[in-house]
A = this chain, B = another copy of it.
Amino acid sequence: MKLNAEGFSNKNVIISGGLGFIGSNLAIKLVDCGAVVTIIDSLIPEYGGNLWNIEPVKDKVKINISDVRDEHSIQHLIQGQDYFFNLAGQTSHLDSMNNPFIDLEINSKAQLSILEACKKYNPGIRIIFASTRQLYGKPQYLPVDEKHPLFPVDVNGINKLSGEWYHIVYNNIYDIKTSILRLTNTFGPRMRIKDARQTFLGIWIKNLIEDKPITIYGDGSQIRDYNYIDDVVDAFLTVAASDQCNGSIFNLGNDQPISLLTTAELMIEENHAGNYDFKPFPSDLKKIDIGDFYSDFSKIKNILGWSPQVSIRDGMKETIDYFRNNYQHYI
């Protein structure tokens, strides 16, 4: 896959959740491509936003601290933008069950208000929305392609689903150009490692660095697929740069899924130290657990030529290195 980076030169780009894990990596890459980047981030402490994430480009981006629930802020900021990478979201499945209305306001209602704002103030904008494989629920078959039935198992999955579908309907009815990426477990530098709110890999990395054992829920046989952040950033840019993706939904994924146990062992090898233990699933997590998962990403591969380029091992090495060097900014 060759990304035409020049396509973003001097383009006005806005990134919601731009201080978060994926948003900040996207911002850094887009600055590198010559884009004029505006970041929106709420900096809600429990979420992924972290000013250190954009340290390499902090003087080259505009940072606007506001919440996607703040419709007036959004209405102002989207004007004149060419691209909107819409990444802000509440990502914790457990939080969505404990505070379902907050999850609804961010993942569902704010998405509707973003789209209404675009319809009124910038109908020519191109939006790429970060969705999640969580919408599929417990897989009925593997690998899971985009035609797999949607079967969200928690409030987060339902609200992400409606947030996603508002994008599709506004594309189809109002010609607001939108595309969806359904992400699986993304990892890499700048992810949240304080806890498991983004993915369990975060807390695993923190524990490794702190010489604490990794805790594996279950027997470690559960299968997951992972994408390294650079590949995910490339997917966002590739979809944004294409004219054939309007109203389309694409899975990301990895055709080399591995078990949790193998993941832990690989991470310990790349860390050159560490150990793990097993614990039964906590009951609240067990109820919303989806079992084995890996996705079929042949749609984006066939249409846009995207496939993951970085191995889990190489990506994990980079990630651990990053967090060893930047540990104090992430705990």
Residues of A within 8 A of B (CB): 97, 100-101, 104, 108-109, 112-113, 116, 147, 149-150, 152-155, 158-159, 161-162, 165-166, 169, 172-173, 287-288
Contact = CB atoms under 8 A, between A and B. Distances in A.
Contact of A155 (B155, B161, B169): B169
Interface centre among A149, A169, A172 (most CB of B within 10 A): A169
A149 to B, nearest CB: 6
A105 to B, nearest CB: 9
A288 B158 contact: no
A113 B153 CA distance: 18
| Leading 10 A-B pairs by shortest Cβ distance | A162-B162, A158-B165, A158-B162, A173-B287, A100-B112, A150-B150, A104-B109, A152-B165, A154-B169, A158-B166
A155 B101 contact: no
Copies, count = 2
Given A169-B155, A173-B288, A116 B100 contact: yes
B116 A112 contact: no
A101 to B, nearest CB: 7
Nearest to A288: B173
Contacts of A173: 97, 154, 287-288
Given A153-B172, A166-B158, A173-B288, A101 B97 contact: no
Contacts of A104: 108-109, 112
